[in-house]
Amino acid sequence: MEGIGTPSGAPQVPETQEEKIAKITTQLKTYAEQHKLRGLEGRIQRGLDPAAMLAVKETRDKLDKVAAILGADMKDVESVTDQLHVGAIWALADKLAAGTDPNIQTWIVAAEVTTFGKEKETDLSDQEFLKDLKRIDSLLTDAVQDPNGFATRARENLITSSKEQFELDDDVPVSGLDSGFLAMAVNGHKAGIVKDKAGLLFVGANELNYESLGLRAEVKEDRGRQVTFYVDEEGNDVVKKLYPGFAIVLNGDLEVAKKLARSGMRKAESDRLFRGVSGASQIKEE
């Protein structure tokens, strides 16, 4: 259908860089609000991840095609992606490693596209973001042409390359890559730290014990939302709680990040022991 006031056959005016960035930012914000995913619009500075690819129309359209051929349901793919985006990566590690569930396969395809051939992890300019978007678009085109083959290779890459994507600092896995948490979880770790070049430390686990830090909790407005911060004696923001299992150490203090990560490890171990006891009790009762 012709646009109102547009002569038939008139060439379309190409989108400017600013218009495209604004459009994508709006799509990210809208999806984030619908799915309660905080800060998704920040992917403009870091490049699209699986959740962001579902939010942006041009990448979503290709993922829809991949999912259809793999036998996935996009509502379920969205649900899995939402869970993984907010920390469930640790709880779903076994399924991710197996890579047989169609919904997980679709996510693994998107995760592979997130990182494969990526030149820069953070602080992308608008021009760098759009260049990275072309990389993503090209890989998704490959995935559409052979979803099963792409998913198989993506899972193999996930397993074989994962050990190189993090190192242990004392007993805590630490990575400088976007895919660091996934690599840690697939290798059996229950918590870890991802650091970016800006000095921020992201701590992830199934659940973190924020009170273990000994800092004062303060609820403040942050980008129009009420967010819990943990502050030191001088009132400086040290940790920003995004979800029960995901936080940012704002001052770059690795020891604070490691302490928080260890709290996640302890919680995972106590949950494992509890499940074992509960399972044993059920067996005895039966």
For tokens 């171990």, what's the residue?
A: 269
Question: Residue 276 has what pLDDT?
Answer: 66
Residue % of the chain over a pLDDT of 90: 71
148 and 44 within one domain: yes
Q: Is 164 helix (H, G, I), strand (E, B) or coil?
A: coil
Question: Residue 179 has what pLDDT?
Answer: 81
In a domain, 109, yes or no: yes
84 and 33 within one domain: yes
Does pLDDT of 211 surpass 70?
yes
Q: Which of 135, 162, 189 represents a domain boundary (last residue)?
A: 162
pLDDT interval class at 3 (50, 70, 90): very low
pLDDT interval class at 93 (50, 70, 90): confident
195 and 125 within one domain: no
Cα–Cα distance for residue pair 286/276, rounded to 1 Å: 15
**Per-residue pLDDT averaged across 196-208, rounded?**
92
Question: Residue 157 has what pLDDT?
Answer: 87
For tokens 């770059």, what's the residue?
A: 252
**255-277 confidence digits (pLDDT tens):** 999 999 999 999 989 988 887 65
Does pLDDT of 69 surpass 80?
yes
35 and 139 within one domain: yes
Give me the amino acid identity at 56. V
Does pLDDT of 168 surpass 50?
yes
In a domain, 45, yes or no: yes
| CA trace torsion 164, 169, 171, 172 (10° rounding) | -70
**4-19 confidence digits (pLDDT tens):** 444 555 567 788 999 9
118 and 50 within one domain: yes
128 and 29 within one domain: yes
Does pLDDT of 223 surpass 60?
yes
Does pLDDT of 148 surpass 90?
yes
Measure the CA angle with vertex 89, ends 176 and 141; round to 5°: 75
Does pLDDT of 240 surpass 80?
yes
**Per-residue pLDDT averaged across 83-88, rounded?**
81
In a domain, 135, yes or no: yes
72 and 55 within one domain: yes
